[in-house]
Amino acid sequence: MTTPGTAEKGNKSRGCFRWAVVAVVVLLCASPTSVDGQGLELSTADRIAMLYAPHLSFTRDGDPLIRLGILEGRDAVTFTPSERIRVLPQGAGGPEIELPGGREYRVTMTDGQAGSYRHWVVVDRLAVDQRGRLPEIREVWEERGLEPETFEVGGLFAIRGQVFDSRSILVAVDGTDSMARAQRRRRELEARFGIAGSIHGERLSYPSGKLTLSGGGLEVEITHRDVLWVTSRSGREENISYEIPGIPGSYGGPEETRRYAGELIFAPDKDGKIAVINNLGAERVLKGTVPSEIFASSPPAALQAQAIAARNYIFASIGVRNLADPYMLRADVYDQVYGGIGREDPRTSAAVDATRGQVMLDGNRIVVASYSSNAGGFTENNENVWDAEQQDHLRGRIDLPRGNAPAQFRGGITEENLGAFLDADFPAPSKTAEVSSANFYRWTRTVDASVPRQWLRERGEDVGAIRDVEILSRGVSGRVVRLRVVGDRGEALVERELNARRLFGGLRSGLFQMEIRRNANGTVREFRFRGAGFGHGVGMCQTGAIGMAAQGFEAAEILTHYYQGVEVRTLY
């Protein structure tokens, strides 16, 4: 059972969804046929609304089904099922057309019409029980010359009597009908204020188009408007595979052919092109996700901790992300990379099975489980990395799960003890772990002065030749939060850890000590850095989790070390 949250702007409801029941009709195709599945029971809006509604349905084994967007922006898509399929123009309970497996089928889109949207830059978010903080947050952004709007997203969900809450309030600015403009504005605000920006899509009207499935060497066409389901024979959802070419490679790699289980849903994307959605149980999704997030050779407890953190991401995102799309999550780096069933590894699959249904909760609120590669021995408070509301479970601390921290570092890392911290030899698990990412525990780098000057110029602040850089404040871990660049034409203020890293061409982390080398005329020639860690340092240190697991810690102990105040509970 679910209770969907409704998106709000200025606390006004955006609308509601209507549901209908479709009578069962079986269509047998023994001769060249054109099947038009446009029944009278469901309107176009009803059928497509079922894809956008933040609700949960379940597999035969009780796993919540997750709709993953695996491909979009195409006029035609091909797929090859490993065994017989059923085509359901209207979804479960509607007409069924059974087709043979082992053949290539083609889905095309005609008469595609884009939807209409307003795209907002999300500058902050907070839990619904922190609603009282909204006036303060609004005031901050109004002082920055912007007019924020608020949207309430997510929902209260109940699974087998266990309730979890994914509701949050988004604070957003600068709504526009152009996604490109919204993304440019997001990057500008990230660079200026150090936020971890995102885009909230406010859907004003649905996209549409006519979908046609053909091929397989058969003289048959199955046509339906706006949505088309393809699934296995009953009970074969975990056994069937669909081979789909042309999937964009992760992290900018070349296109790939990947294999998927469960069922496929074809629907219009924002631009009226084809979106391919893989509807699959959450546990099977995790089996194709966790190998992309952590070394599969890691100790079992570390793999289990990563599986739980990844499961948290899935459920914390339901009804919160991708609200203008016909899927819950994207299967790429914008959410979590899902590589299909071909990426599954027996070791990570065993970790998913061992933690089936387990998530981290703070009360009944499902927490956002941030993590990074290597925290360098000290994790950071979330608000110091991103300009965002403080999260109690994301507090920075020295990364020593056993024993006392060295006395000089117990209160945090400061300008005064940073050098000693970088020299210290205490046994942080992110140092002792026997994986390659432990090499990032400490690092050095030299950056030419032209790099920060160019970054500032691109955001509209040309300070000229750099004469000095002053670090104004650091977070609890010693990560840079605020610095000033002084040039012969002016000054620029850079805020938040993420922007400090970007300023110098993408440093491994903001936990660094900086030495300035100058030219004869006093201008800066280059910067030499000595630093710690790889990534933002908020939440779980993945290398540290591996190190802790090697020391005998269990998954729950690893998670409660890195996420303070949480409880690991079983949802299903």
C-alpha distance from residue 235 to each of 9, 216, 238, 285 (Å): 42, 23, 8, 18
pLDDT score of 11 more than 90: no
DSSP per residue, 448-505? ETHHHHHHHHHTT----SEEEEEEEEE-TTS-EEEEEEEESS-EEEEESHHHHHHHTT
What is the reported pTM? Answer: 0.86
- In terms of Cα–Cα distance, which of 354, 332, 383, 314 is closest to 159? 314
Over residues 464-492, the pLDDT tens digits come to: 999 999 999 999 999 999 999 999 999 99
- 105: region left, alpha or beta (phi > 0 left; psi from -120 to 50 alpha): beta
Mean pLDDT of all residues belonging to the chain: 89
pLDDT of residue 90: 79
- Residues 197 and 182: their CA atoms lie apart, in Å, by 11
Q: What is the largest CA-CA distance in the chain?
A: 87
Q: Is 116-205 assigned to CATH 1.20.1530?
A: no
pLDDT of residue 42: 53
Residue 198, strand partner residues:
122
The band of 40, judged by pLDDT with boundaries at 50, 70 and 90, is very low
C-alpha distance from residue 423 to each of 169, 513, 516 (Å): 43, 11, 20
- Residues 209 and 232: their CA atoms lie apart, in Å, by 25
Residue 115 in tokens:
């939807």
Report whether 435 contacts 295 (CB < 8 A). Answer: yes
The size of the chain, in residues, is 572
Q: Are strands 329-330 and 65-74 parallel, antiparallel or unpaired?
A: parallel
pLDDT score of 1 more than 70: no
Between residues 158 and 212, which one has the greater pLDDT? 212
Q: Choose the weakest-confidence range: 275-289, 321-335, 475-489.
A: 321-335
- Residues 482 and 470: their CA atoms lie apart, in Å, by 9
Between residues 263 and 55, which one has the greater pLDDT? 263
pLDDT of residue 387: 79
DSSP per residue, 121-137? EEEEEEEGGGGGGHHHH
Residue 487, strand partner residues:
466
Sorted by where each begins, the domain ranges of the chain are 2-115+207-356, 116-205, 357-572
pLDDT of residue 41: 55
Report whether 562 contacts 379 (CB < 8 A). Answer: yes
pLDDT score of 405 more than 90: no
C-alpha distance from residue 329 to each of 64, 157, 322, 376 (Å): 14, 17, 7, 31
- Residues 89 and 413: their CA atoms lie apart, in Å, by 60
Those residues whose C-beta lies under 8 Å from the C-beta of residue 225, and which sit 6 or more positions away, are 38, 44, 208, 209, 210, 211
263's enclosing H/E stretch is strand 263-268
Tally of CA atoms within 13 A in the half-sphere of 38 that contains its CB = 13
